[in-house]
Amino acid sequence: DAMVIQNPRYQVTQFGKPVTLSCSQTLNHNVMYWYQQKSSQAPKLLFHYYDKDFNNEADTPDNFQSRRPNTSFCFLDIRSPGLGDAAMYLCATSARWNIQYFGAGTRLSVL
Partner 1 sequence: GQQVMQIPQYQHVQEGEDFTTYCNSSTTLSNIQWYKQRPGGHPVFLIQLVKSGEVKKQKRLTFQFGEAKKNSSLHITATQTTDVGTYFCAGGNNAGNMLTFGGGTRLMVKP
Q: Decide whether 8 or 82 has the Cβ nearer to partner 1.
A: 8
Q: Please report how close the Cβ of residue 90 comes to partner 1 at its closest, in angstroms.
A: 6
Q: Decide whether 4 or 19 has the Cβ nearer to partner 1.
A: 4
- The answer to whether residues 15 and 110 touch, using CB atoms and an 8 Å cutoff, is yes
Host H or E run for residue 78: strand 73-78
Q: In what order do the strands lie in the sheet with 73-78?
A: 4-7, 19-25, 73-78, 64-67
**Is cis: bond before 69, omega within 30 of 0?**
no
Q: Please report how close the Cβ of residue 17 comes to partner 1 at its closest, in angstroms.
A: 26
Q: Collapse the DSSP code of 110 into the 3-class scheme (helix H, G, I; strand E, B; otherwise coil) and give the result.
A: strand
Q: Decide whether 87 or 92 has the Cβ nearer to partner 1.
A: 92
Q: Please report how close the Cβ of residue 57 comes to partner 1 at its closest, in angstroms.
A: 10
Q: List 11's β-bridge partners, or say none.
A: 108
| 2/85 Cα distance (integer angstroms) | 26
Q: Decide whether 55 or 80 has the Cβ nearer to partner 1.
A: 55
Q: Please report how close the Cβ of residue 105 comes to partner 1 at its closest, in angstroms.
A: 5
The binding site for partner 1 (CB under 8 A) comprises 31, 33, 40-43, 45, 48, 90, 92, 97, 99-105
